[in-house]
Structure 1
Amino acid sequence: MIRHSLAGALLSLALLAMPALAQQGPTPEHLKAAREVVVSSGLSQSFDSIYAEFSAGVRQSFGTTRPELKKDMDEVLTALKAEADLRREEIVDSSARIFASKMTEADLKDVAAFFNSPVGQRYNSYRPQVIDEIFALLQPWSTATSNRLFDLFQAEMRKRGHQL
């Protein structure tokens, strides 16, 4: 009886301690390694386009229809760059936290080492082109694959006596 009570108490204590351990979160070193992956992998570069696209959209929308606003518009957009940079840092930090929650610090350091290596840098230099080419293939491949699978599905259902 005492043994069961002691085991139950230890189990309860362990279960109570688990949320406290989970709440501690990653160490600063773990987050630093995760942030290095976000930056060295090129993921953070995808966040850079948001301000550029925003300012280009504003210039296109208002610059062509209201050319008298150009000077003030350029000044305001320049001033907003600091806010955009702050927001960019927020998403980089959030991305690092996600990586840190999924991967160990050691693994993150290995991944960062790869992306900082010559082969990792070459990978990053080709990645945008490769992704563009993959997306160009994706739509027709997706349609052809779906059509093929539907044809196979329909044929199999006919074999089982079902007319679709």
Structure 2
Amino acid sequence: MVVKKFLSAAIFAAAIGVTPVKAQEITETHLEAALDALRSSPAARSYDDLLPAVAEAVKSQLILIRPDLHAVIGETVDEVVLTLVPRRSDLDQELARVWAQGFTEDELVTIAEFYNSPAGRKFNETGPRVISDSFGVAQAWAGRVREELIEATRVRLREQGEEF
């Protein structure tokens, strides 16, 4: 699911023509624009499940070590993970730096404007389904072409005297 969400952002980035930015060129306003674009995009929401997923993985890991403590481990991990929620802003800052390295400040402003526009909001809501449906259509097409290619290749091989 995360991959599909990133794909929508990648398609948009390709559409506007991404210009790589050198790390030393990132100013505070550039980073702010990156943060705004990131938070406006569907990519930001794709990270919302990261901390809960880490917590579940930690529970599983610790319960494997001490299955007799499964209840207390679960409760303790749930308590501790809540103390880590404020660290999400650290992730956002690191992601914003990545975005700032990939886009100019002006591009980031344009991206945020797009995602905050009616079309951008619709893209956020409908885009994942459209992209998923598009993958389905592409897979079906590839399957049909594959069958045609197999049959045409068999015919040509027979024409060349090869038994198939």
TM-score (norm 1): 0.59
Partner residue in 1 for 2:79: 78
Partner residue in 2 for 1:18: none
What's the CA shift for 1:56? 5.2
The count of aligned residue pairs is 140
Q: How does 1:6-155 map to 2 (within 5 A)?
A: 22=22, 24-55=24-55, 69-70=70-71, 72-83=73-84, 86=87, 88-148=88-148, 154=153
Q: Relative CO higher for 1 or 2, CA cutoff 8 Å, sep ≥ 6?
A: 2
Q: Distance in 2 between matches of 1:85 and 1:120?
A: 28
What's the CA shift for 1:74? 2.6
Amino acid in structure 2 at the alignment position of 1:101: Q
What's the CA shift for 1:72? 4.4
Query: 1:60 and 1:145, CA in 2 relative to 1: closer, same or farther beyond 3 A?
Result: farther
Q: Distance in 1 between matches of 2:140 and 2:103?
A: 35
Question: What runs of 5+ residues in structure 1 fail to find an aligned partner?
Answer: 1-21
Q: Check the 8 A contact 2:37/2:111 in 1, yes or no.
A: yes
Question: What runs of 5+ residues in structure 2 fail to find an aligned partner?
Answer: 1-21
Higher helix proportion, which one? 1
Q: Check the 8 A contact 2:115/2:121 in 1, yes or no.
A: yes
Q: Distance in 2 between matches of 1:99 and 1:124?
A: 18
Query: 1:148 and 1:53, CA in 2 relative to 1: closer, same or farther beyond 3 A?
Result: farther
Q: Check the 8 A contact 1:34/1:99 in 2, yes or no.
A: yes
Amino acid in structure 1 at the alignment position of 2:50: I
Amino acid in structure 2 at the alignment position of 1:70: A
Amino acid in structure 2 at the alignment position of 1:96: A
What's the CA shift for 1:31? 1.3
What's the CA shift for 1:125? 1.8
Q: Distance in 1 between matches of 2:97 and 2:161?
A: 51
Larger radius of gyration: 1
What's the CA shift for 1:138? 4.5
Q: Distance in 1 between matches of 2:54 and 2:93?
A: 21
CA RMSD of aligned residues (A): 4.0
What's the CA shift for 1:162? 10
Q: Distance in 2 between matches of 1:149 and 1:96?
A: 45
Alignment deviations for residues 117-160 of structure 1 (CA, whole Å, 9 cap, x no partner): 233222212233334433444543444345555666x48x86xx
% same residue: 24
TM-score (norm 2): 0.59
Q: Distance in 1 between matches of 2:84 and 2:161?
A: 61
